[in-house]
Structure 1
Amino acid sequence: MFYWYDYLLVFFVLVTSVLIGGKQMKIFPIAVSVIVSHFSGITLIAVPADVYKYGAFYGLTCLSAVLLVIASMYVYYPVLFKGDYSSIYEYLEVRFNRKIRLFSSFLYILYENFLLPVVVYTPALALSVVTGFSVQLIVLLICGTCVFYTAIGGLRTVIWTDIFQFVIVMIAFLTVCSEGIKSAGGIPSVWNKAVSGKRLDIFDFDPDPTKKDSFWICTFGLAARFLFYVCLSQTSVQKYMSLSTLRRCRWSLLLSGLCWCLVNICAVSVGIIIYANYHNCDPVMDKKITKNDQIVSYYVEQVAQKISGISGLFMAALLSSAISTLSSSLNSLSGVIYNDFVRKFSKKSFTEKTSVRIMKIIVVIEGIWCTSMIFVIQYLGEILPLATAITGLIDGPSLGLYTLGICFPQVDSTSAFYGTIGGVIFVSAIYFPSIYYKQKQVFVYPAKELSVKGCNVTHETFSMASKYSNPFHENFTSNSYNVDGLDVVNSTMKVDDFSANQPFFFFRISYAYYCLLGALVTIILGLIITYVKKCKSKSPANPTRPASLPLLVE
């Protein structure tokens, strides 16, 4: 339940976001802004829920951060700064041609227009539950506030608002963690419960790519995903390129990696702490909530009974993350649409004042589109898988395209274009059948052991526990115990026992590998086409294209 101080906290976030603006670009604000703009309700809600059910594998993303920072500092950004490109798409046009630039820009615009409504819908739905206001009204409030300060203040306002929102999120994380540790009996108790529940068994070196999580999947698979998402998406490039020198950019990249690790460690810690509190009574099996993704909100609601204002603080953090992602994306979208489509296809040139006005109009139009799509999303359950599919389709092939341009000077525009098309087709051929099989429950990922022996167990709870732990009701191992005369079962699926019924190997590959696979297929196809063309024609490579990577790195 929301009280007056909860509303005050949420209102404070919105008002402060509007009032901030007009600072000079510095290393630390850029680093924090990039990270804040790339985590949303997924980080605050989905990551802890995943850790609670499957273990702390997501903590390995700190190793991924090391890889993506090194690659960005010494492979990609030296090239971008050498050419003084205002966007990643400008680089693609200089390196290849206008067709590839427009193709890549179009994919980015399509991706953002489907993803952003989902980013806004997540906090709106959560706020609607605790406040009683309609989702539509909350969406209008979020989008209206965000569009206003993005259009008025531009990039500087976006960056300094992100700093404020980062502080809100970290305070929420630390408060929730602190109270959770106390209620679980202290840090040693949390640690022991996590160890006994196997939530910290994350160093699984099994090379099987069909597992949900492993050391290799979470380190190298997610490294490719985060490399594109955090460092090479237009939202990030626009901010890093606002710095004056490559040296400043490298320092900002390093700080971004540290901030990324800090946020992810906090999210993983929340998941571990929640497990320590509910290790004897899973709220899903106890029918307190209907699905695992709701466990963070349920936990915060329980904590709110002990600390006044914690619900408002957490919802403010959730709201902040959504606003940050939306504002950064709106700012980048306006630049991409204007530079790559409006200005390119216009027959007349625009003054600087007119250009700024057009980009502000684009921000408003995108905000209206985002708000309108929310009214559709609440009736279309398939929109979230669609947004996720677009993410998987774009990240890998786009990363492969940038890598071809920067690291392989012999690759021409034709080879890069068809290599990227091949990457998109390859990931699509894996992803869509995989979604179908998962919806049909042809294969599932087994969860860590969950228990209801500390609950007020009823026959209804027992039935729910059996169904939740074992959706196939066969081929599982179990640990049984008696609570109030009931035989309660903890079960873990044995996937190998029904491997004969599993779909083709490629359709079971972990989603974390989609970006890496898309990038590799794009690069390999681009190189193969280049080799075939070279064999057919002995003409030298186009000398007007940018030089190879070693000549550009400082």
Structure 2
Amino acid sequence: MGLVGEARLGIADYVVFAVFILSSLSIGVYHALSGGRQRTTKEYLTADKKLKVVPISLSLLVSFQSAIMILGYPAEMYMRGAQLYIGNIGMLIGTILTTRLWVPLFYKLQITSTFEYLYLRFDSVAVRKLGSVMGIIATVSYMGTAMFAPSTALEAVTGFPVWASILVTAGVGTIYTSIGGMKAVVWTDVFQSVIMFGGVLAVIVMGLVKIGSVSKVFEICQEHKRLNFLNFDFNPTRINTFWTIVLSDTILWWKVYGTRQASVQRFCSLPTLKKANAAVLLVIPMQFLLITMVSFAGLVIFAYYIHIGCDPLEQGIIKSGNQILPYFVMDTFKSLPGFSGLFLATLFSGALSSISSGLNALSAITWEDFLKHRFRHLKESRKALCTKLLVVIYGVCSTGVACLAILIKGPIIQAGSTLSGAIGGSSSALFILGAFTATSNWKGAITGPVVSFIILLWIAIGGQSIKGNNQYLPPGPTDRCEISNGSSVYNISVYNNVTSWYNDTIDIVYDGNLLNHSSIMEPQEQELTGIQHLYGISHLLYAPLGILLAIIIGLVVSWATGGEKGRCIDKAYTFSLRDAICCCCSSRVKDKACGCKENKTPRQENGVERSVLRDTEYQNIETGNEESGC
């Protein structure tokens, strides 16, 4: 099974791809043998707080911009138009809010695991463990899908088995993360970000060479209604509108850069708060550039196939919009040795950056939240070894999730994406309840997110019963589609068979959101009635809805159970919007915020910086309802 003619990868492509893999591994080996050789948990998990702003920014960028994004954005531009690009507005708002709110809060506490904060704020082990478990499940499921996406592209291009590709990706990511720690993760992210930008740029340049000019691209896309940036429809069942995209992306990047373990671990690895804020702010122009390039690549590909008069998706040459980018690469780069290998390196750069960041974050969560107090008597080198073994264990787990996608096909991808989306909003509410309200107690913090998750899961599963809800734009022409003219490099039946694993699944998961697609020829959108109006809401609204439900339920339960019952909440664990947003307020005005004057747990002891959470105190607490004052 494979491609027709000479469309396979050549020796030059394999050389390019091999150099990429070996380079990533060598970075891990270097950091395993240099510096302190990862012999302490502080060096392994936080790089001894000696990293620089630009590498951290690039690492933040690619940690959450994976191969899923590289495949998914061009598919969105091709099939639904440029509406999704408006999400940059939400990204700008969400990231700025992160620097005003979450970065100062977490950095001043100097925590390693994000969920340490939940214990400090609610004085509850149960809340901390709930957050940790939700974070672990969401991260492992996302990592599995992040591995699966580029593997299907590799199979489509070369016929290389998906399972073998998954094992290679997981193996490489696990090896350099386990031996090199945070330093290896950050510097491989830097290297992989260069590959990602270079690969996307190559696609754009080739498309423009084929079409003729940028103006021609926009002219074609405008004629076929792909430049539909401003859709102000208030209907929540419309998948991509200005309001849903801006709202969802504001919340998405606010929680991704502000409360995700991988993000907090990175900006807390910088030596000062000023540099931590600078690193997060620097992500804004970088992400804007990458999203612009990937989105424009999708428009270029669409314009190219309109230009030659053959829409491969409408013709049936490919069955999924997410195959359009690899199809374009093999269609147009077949005469240029090495470029197809660069494209594969681009996809695997996105996958490896997400996997390594996830593994490092999972290791930190598990060690800090579940194991640290149990193994506190071990030598520091033994503790570091434990964190390395955790990376290996989670590498195996995420590999299992990715392989299940092959065996079970559709349901595991659908279940994984639904789970990730439902958990994302619910878990974010834990931090919002803690940081923005002084009356929320541990009972409300547990009940709100759990009930919200159950409701969101029900809505997401019900949404799969809505047929024809993809809301695609009209396809392009197919009047000049002839396999013999050289514009289509695949045998249709063979190509569809080769990618059958992918075609039978929900196509893409982007940060827990479903970019649903089964076939361009599916029935017309059905009219919604009754409960279907709830099931039919845009997947982009899942996270905002989950946060809203969790906060409302959490506040109600907290009020009904007596709130904090007079327990004084340390000012260091909360913030007010007035303090964060009103930058010019006088100190006298800001000092009126409620809270304790001192932290109940000092961050320094005998001049030595330490975790805010006392291990002995945490060890002795068996339940999450113990109260304490200032």
- TM-score greater than 0.5 by the shorter chain: yes
SS of corresponding position for 2:407: coil
Q: Verify: 1:304 aligned to 2:330, yes or no.
A: no
* Superposition map of 1:360-371 within 5 A: 360-371=388-399
Q: Verify: 1:387 aligned to 2:412, yes or no.
A: no
SS of corresponding position for 1:207: coil
What one-letter code is carried by the residue in structure 1 that aligns with 2:145?
V
Q: How many residues align?
A: 517
Find the counterpart in structure 1 of residue 433 from structure 2: 404
Deviation digits for residues 407-458 of structure 1 (CA, Å, limit 9, x no counterpart):
11221211221111222122122111112x14xx2x4232112132442489
TM-score by length of 2: 0.78
Q: Verify: 1:213 aligned to 2:264, yes or no.
A: no
Taking a change above 3 Å as real, the CA distance of residues 46 and 552 of structure 1, as seen in their structure-2 partners, is same
Q: 1:13 aligns with which of 20, 37, 41?
A: 20
Q: How far apart are the structure 2 equivalents of 1:161 and 1:531?
A: 48
Find the counterpart in structure 2 of residue 98 from structure 1: 125
Find the counterpart in structure 2 of residue 261 from structure 1: 288
What one-letter code is carried by the residue in structure 2 that aligns with 1:27?
V
Taking a change above 3 Å as real, the CA distance of residues 211 and 502 of structure 1, as seen in their structure-2 partners, is farther
Q: Verify: 1:354 aligned to 2:382, yes or no.
A: yes
Find the counterpart in structure 2 of residue 489 from structure 1: none
* Superposition map of 1:112-131 within 5 A: 112-131=139-158
Q: How far apart are the structure 1 equivalents of 2:258 and 2:89?
A: 15
Q: Verify: 1:378 aligned to 2:406, yes or no.
A: yes
Find the counterpart in structure 2 of residue 471 from structure 1: 522
Deviation digits for residues 89-143 of structure 1 (CA, Å, limit 9, x no counterpart):
1111101111111111011111222222221122222223333333333222222
Q: How far apart are the structure 1 equivalents of 2:405 and 2:17?
A: 24
Q: How far apart are the structure 1 equivalents of 2:228 and 2:541?
A: 21
Gaps of 5+ in 2: 1-7, 32-46, 484-491, 493-517, 584-630
Q: How far apart are the structure 2 equivalents of 1:166 and 1:500?
A: 43
Taking a change above 3 Å as real, the CA distance of residues 11 and 518 of structure 1, as seen in their structure-2 partners, is same
Taking a change above 3 Å as real, the CA distance of residues 470 and 366 of structure 1, as seen in their structure-2 partners, is closer
Q: How far apart are the structure 1 equivalents of 2:75 and 2:18?
A: 27
* Superposition map of 1:158-169 within 5 A: 158-169=185-196
Find the counterpart in structure 2 of residue 195 from structure 1: 222
Check the 8 A contact 2:71/2:325 in 1, yes or no. yes
**1:539 shift after superposition:** 4.0
Q: How far apart are the structure 2 equivalents of 1:285 and 1:502?
A: 33
Q: How far apart are the structure 2 equivalents of 1:545 and 1:325?
A: 34
Q: How far apart are the structure 2 equivalents of 1:314 and 1:249?
A: 33
What one-letter code is carried by the residue in structure 2 that aligns with 1:446?
Q
Find the counterpart in structure 2 of residue 3 from structure 1: 10
What one-letter code is carried by the residue in structure 1 that aligns with 2:15?
L
Check the 8 A contact 1:64/1:223 in 2, yes or no. yes
Q: 1:432 aligns with which of 461, 465, 489?
A: 461
TM-score by length of 1: 0.88
Q: How far apart are the structure 2 equivalents of 1:37 and 1:538?
A: 37
Q: Verify: 1:40 aligned to 2:66, yes or no.
A: yes
Deviation digits for residues 383-430 of structure 1 (CA, Å, limit 9, x no counterpart):
111110111111111111111111112212112211112221221221
Taking a change above 3 Å as real, the CA distance of residues 211 and 331 of structure 1, as seen in their structure-2 partners, is same
Q: 2:111 aligns with which of 85, 103, 113?
A: 85
Check the 8 A contact 2:83/2:231 in 1, yes or no. no
Percent identity of equivalent pairs: 26
Deviation digits for residues 321-351 of structure 1 (CA, Å, limit 9, x no counterpart):
111111111111111111211224x266222
Taking a change above 3 Å as real, the CA distance of residues 369 and 420 of structure 1, as seen in their structure-2 partners, is closer
Q: How far apart are the structure 2 equivalents of 1:32 and 1:468?
A: 36
Q: 1:455 aligns with which of 477, 480, 483?
A: 480
Find the counterpart in structure 1 of residue 173 from structure 2: 146
**1:371 shift after superposition:** 2.9
Find the counterpart in structure 2 of residue 180 from structure 1: 207
**1:375 shift after superposition:** 3.5
What one-letter code is carried by the residue in structure 2 that aligns with 1:420?
P
Taking a change above 3 Å as real, the CA distance of residues 504 and 326 of structure 1, as seen in their structure-2 partners, is same
Find the counterpart in structure 1 of residue 557 from structure 2: 529
What one-letter code is carried by the residue in structure 2 that aligns with 1:182?
V
What one-letter code is carried by the residue in structure 2 that aligns with 1:130?
V
Q: How far apart are the structure 1 equivalents of 2:519 and 2:74?
A: 19
Find the counterpart in structure 2 of residue 225 from structure 1: 252
Taking a change above 3 Å as real, the CA distance of residues 340 and 28 of structure 1, as seen in their structure-2 partners, is same
* Superposition map of 1:21-36 within 5 A: 21-22=30-31, 24-36=50-62
SS of corresponding position for 2:408: coil
Q: 2:470 aligns with which of 437, 445, 448?
A: 445
Q: How far apart are the structure 2 equivalents of 1:502 and 1:86?
A: 47
